[in-house]
Chain A
């Protein structure tokens, strides 16, 4: 009722404008709906459904009706040491990939921002890993790491650094080996984003600082970094999420082996859901992953943002 009177009043106040605006609103809905419906049905809906599944005993191909079981899945999960081991590996992987990825990409972006020859070629080449299917990236690095026919061991032999090893099936080497691939695969996108940020930073300030005799490092700290900071923050946060949720690369490289040493949480949950058919339990894993990652990110972003205000 209050709504109705409010509308009536506004109609009285501006009879011409509102009629036009309302038509425009209807037009806007017409434009938005074709995308909104699929988003609601195939993204928002499944997300909520997925969260609900975490509180049920849903299984694949079962005839008995699915039942609500409260937080039983989460209680089980709490004691599932295999899952937490996988979670630990996932965090190691996500940090191990995101940090070097950022540092290397920053270095490359700074280089590409310089007036160097070959810059165009370098930019074009640098983007190759981005365009490739993840499965192909995995296959490619399997060929590189191959103990006999791989170029890595051959290069080590040539350099007299021993006979090399079976990188992807060694208990100690598997995780570092897949981390290198993760860094390689995600570098271009990070580089391009950082480069865009760099090119937005004020050039005059840079030149002024150079005139004042500031060295390269000082110029970076006082001019470049403050301008780049928001972009850097956003890109590391996104990379961290993507890396934590990564699946295809490791699936192709090691499929979680050897002995679960590279079994990322996504692989674990995938197996739980589609090999063992434990839909409810896998959904609970998904919920835990989202919750923990959100918390880590919140701490990361809040810490960095308030740090930025101090500076």
Chain B
């Protein structure tokens, strides 16, 4: 298709504007994280720190138990991702391959669960976990995260399962392979990349999650990174900007790295899930 030169230039200009809008807050965060206190107090802040320093990072670790929080986040996110994928994959397989009442009900739940406000669920969950003595603990949080990650995990996995032709499995069955063998040696290898992508997505969602962690974790030593980050902001909304930026920057890195890995698969999976359902 031909596009005029003027139109092309306009398109590039628009693209540039978008990129600036999307990138500048992050660049400003990085810039703030490396600025010494003196520069942060100056009335004319600059984009590039004149005297870059790591002092903010040191101070951030001194002020709040960041390492502890990162370990808690890691445990919660890993636990949630592994369990979610482990239980969602078999279910997704059934939902993709069979059109039963259950499949319809499950699809309905996936949609509805996106719509109800967490506040309606969090109070009962709070009471339930309290009775199970799992409140204020990472395992309790993992339980919540697993169920919270399930709708999207199911959605993605159903798409991936549908992408594996049922004919392949039938062919294996005709050749005398047992049901289990077909699943293990035909379906599983083809599904593996999708399962990994789903797990990583669940990992990021849990790593980033704030609301449940805020309500369910009260002891400072048990809190996850997003909750600890908010402690940098004082009651009056006043914050020590440098350490705040440094800690926020560090907390983002894992998400960015993982997201970069699965970026393509996420969009592919969403599309696959969206095509038929």
Closest B residue to A249 by beta carbon equals B210
Please name all residues of chain B whose beta carbon is closer than 8 Å to the beta carbon of A265 when the two chains form the complex.
117
B172 interface residue per 8 A CB criterion: no
A68 interface residue per 8 A CB criterion: no
Please name all residues of chain B whose beta carbon is closer than 8 Å to the beta carbon of A114 when the two chains form the complex.
3, 11
A269 near B119 (CB under 8 angstroms)? yes
A35 near B90 (CB under 8 angstroms)? yes
B115 near A51 (CB under 8 angstroms)? no
Closest A residue to B32 by beta carbon equals A143
A34 near B86 (CB under 8 angstroms)? yes
Q: Which of A1-9, A10-18, A39-47 contacts B (4 or more CB under 8 A)?
A: A39-47
- The interface centre, meaning the residue of A47, A200, A207, A242 with most chain B CB atoms within 10 A of its CB, is A47
Please name all residues of chain B whose beta carbon is closer than 8 Å to the beta carbon of A93 when the two chains form the complex.
none
A47 vs B245: C-alpha distance when bound (angstroms): 37
A283 near B123 (CB under 8 angstroms)? yes
Q: Which of B226, B239, B259, B274 contacts A196 (CB 8 A)?
A: B274
Please name all residues of chain A whose beta carbon is closer than 8 Å to the beta carbon of B177 when the two chains form the complex.
none
A293 near B241 (CB under 8 angstroms)? no
Given the interface contacts A140-B26, A154-B44, A169-B237, does A35 sit within 8 Å of B88 by beta carbon? yes
A279 vs B128: C-alpha distance when bound (angstroms): 13
Closest B residue to A254 by beta carbon equals B237
Count of interface residues, chain A, beta-carbon cutoff 8 Å? 103
Q: Which of B51-59, B162-170, B191-199, B250-258 contacts A (4 or more CB under 8 A)?
A: B250-258
Given the interface contacts A124-B260, A134-B210, A273-B123, does A43 sit within 8 Å of B147 by beta carbon? yes
Q: Which of B18, B91, B118, B256 contacts A32 (CB 8 A)?
A: B91
Please name all residues of chain B whose beta carbon is closer than 8 Å to the beta carbon of A137 when the two chains form the complex.
25
A285 near B119 (CB under 8 angstroms)? yes
A241 vs B114: C-alpha distance when bound (angstroms): 8
B76 interface residue per 8 A CB criterion: no
| Min CB–CB distance B104 → chain A (angstroms) | 13
A244 vs B115: C-alpha distance when bound (angstroms): 10
Interfacial residues of chain A within 268-300, with CB under 8 A of chain B in the complex:
269-270, 273-274, 279, 282-283, 285-287, 289-290, 293-294, 297
A39 near B109 (CB under 8 angstroms)? yes
Q: Which of B42, B248, B275 contacts A136 (CB 8 A)?
A: B248
A146 near B241 (CB under 8 angstroms)? yes
Q: Which of A69-77, A78-86, A125-133, A302-310 contacts B (4 or more CB under 8 A)?
A: A125-133
A47 near B116 (CB under 8 angstroms)? yes
A122 interface residue per 8 A CB criterion: yes
Please name all residues of chain B whose beta carbon is closer than 8 Å to the beta carbon of A231 when the two chains form the complex.
274
B87 near A38 (CB under 8 angstroms)? yes
- The interface centre, meaning the residue of B2, B91, B239, B258 with most chain A CB atoms within 10 A of its CB, is B91
| Min CB–CB distance B269 → chain A (angstroms) | 10
A157 vs B18: C-alpha distance when bound (angstroms): 23
A173 interface residue per 8 A CB criterion: no
A117 vs B116: C-alpha distance when bound (angstroms): 42
Interfacial residues of chain A within 133-178, with CB under 8 A of chain B in the complex:
133-137, 139-144, 146, 148-151, 154, 157, 168-169
B174 interface residue per 8 A CB criterion: no
Given the interface contacts A144-B25, A247-B211, does A139 sit within 8 Å of B245 by beta carbon? yes
Closest A residue to B26 by beta carbon equals A128
Q: Which of A45, A124, A210 contacts B1 (CB 8 A)?
A: A210
A225 interface residue per 8 A CB criterion: no
A193 interface residue per 8 A CB criterion: yes
A245 near B233 (CB under 8 angstroms)? no
A53 interface residue per 8 A CB criterion: yes
B117 near A122 (CB under 8 angstroms)? no
| Min CB–CB distance B198 → chain A (angstroms) | 13
Q: List 14 A-B contacts (CB under 8 A).
A: A31-B91, A46-B121, A46-B128, A111-B11, A114-B11, A128-B26, A131-B258, A133-B208, A136-B29, A142-B239, A149-B40, A193-B270, A238-B114, A290-B120
Q: Could you tell me which B residues sit within 8 Å of A by CB distance?
A: 1-3, 7, 11-12, 14-15, 18-19, 21-26, 28-29, 32, 40-45, 47, 86-88, 90-91, 93-94, 98, 100, 102, 109, 113-128, 143-144, 146-147, 150, 154, 179, 204, 207-211, 214-215, 225-226, 229-230, 232-233, 237, 239, 241, 244-245, 248, 251-252, 255-256, 258-260, 263, 266-267, 270-271, 274-275
Given contacts A27-B179, A265-B117, 20 further A-B contacts (CB under 8 A): A32-B102, A46-B124, A47-B120, A108-B18, A128-B22, A132-B252, A132-B255, A133-B207, A134-B208, A139-B233, A142-B233, A143-B32, A195-B267, A196-B274, A210-B1, A266-B117, A273-B119, A286-B116, A289-B117, A290-B120
Q: Could you tell me which A residues sit within 8 Å of B by CB distance?
A: 27-28, 30-32, 34-36, 38-39, 42-47, 49-51, 53, 58, 104, 107-108, 111, 114, 116-118, 122-137, 139-144, 146, 148-151, 154, 157, 168-169, 184, 187-188, 192-193, 195-196, 200, 206-207, 210, 216, 231, 234, 238, 241-242, 244-245, 247-248, 251-252, 254-255, 257, 265-266, 269-270, 273-274, 279, 282-283, 285-287, 289-290, 293-294, 297
